[in-house]
Amino acid sequence: MERTLVALWFADIGGYSAHAAEDESGALRLVQVLQELASETVPQFRGRIVKFVGDAVLAQFPSAELAVRAAITLSNGYIQRSEAIGRIEHLRIGVHLADVAVAADGDLYGDGVNTAARIQEAAEPGQVVISQDVWRQLRRRREFRFEHLGDRSLKGIGSMNLYVATMESVATSVSKPREMDNLRSQAQMTAIRSLAVLPFADLSAERDQEHFGDGVAEEVLNTLTKIRDLRIPARTSCFAFRGLNLDARDIGRRLGVEALLEGSVRKAGGSTRKASFGQNVHCGC
């Protein structure tokens, strides 16, 4: 079998066994939500779903950064998706960097796979826990935050240094919460019945804020989805138009919406980022 160095993670639903014992059909719905969301999220970060196992998913990525970004996005998204079906649940995710064997069917084998599974078991619901190998790759990246958990004894693996990884909160980075409230109020007062949120443009000189812009756009999208009678296409559909030279009417027609919301992000020096949105809403699509 071919061997390759990959970043990989295991994710599962916190407390799933207890959920299944109390409400089997509800627990199965939670698994379905995880599989649907993972299938949407992983490819956006150049990843590949290796397999689904019960209430868990194994995914691989070409870099530690992409793996952690995908893990945090999945974790946050699952809270929102599970809330939409009437119950707020959290994932446990363990991220590792390892040399693995790739089988002909795409499955992964090796100590690295087992290690990722044990790291995931060490996570509390809602946590993305990473190995020291992953931390070394990301420790100088300003957008990430790390909480050192110290040495943890992992079954069948031994002692490992682990960290909880988080990212700069998108919600607190979109200028002020008041702007989000204003956006919601403006949308409610208009006669618009459908609106799409497009990927935010990266206006920073280095063009290195695309992922931050995506996070801001997703936060805006999630805010607008809470408005009754306003139809918002899914993130995957909206972001498919990134980089395409199409006018607003054409995009609106393809998405079947009456209006588009665009925005931009830029680095304002150091680790400070600024986002603007809501100024370029194209009606009459």
pLDDT mean by block of 10 residues, the chain; 285 residues? 92 86 86 94 94 95 95 90 82 96 92 95 94 95 89 92 81 46 55 82 76 79 77 84 81 86 70 52 50
- The sign of the dihedral angle between the CA atoms of 88, 26, 48, 124 is positive
Delimiting residues of CATH 3.30.70.1230 domain(s) in the chain = 2-167
Which ranges in the chain belong to alpha helices (H)?
Answer: 16-22, 24-44, 64-84, 111-122, 132-138, 170-173, 177-189, 210-224, 235-239, 248-255
- In this prediction, residue 81 carries a pLDDT of 85
- In this prediction, residue 168 carries a pLDDT of 65
Delimiting residues of CATH 3.40.50 domain(s) in the chain = 170-283
CB atoms within 10 A of CB 238: 23
Helix (H) or strand (E) holding 12: strand 2-13
| pTM for this model (two decimals) | 0.62
Q: 2-167 belongs to which homologous superfamily?
A: Nucleotide cyclase, GGDEF domain (3.30.70.1230)
- In this prediction, residue 257 carries a pLDDT of 87
- In this prediction, residue 262 carries a pLDDT of 81
- The topology under which CATH files domain 170-283 is Rossmann fold (3.40.50)
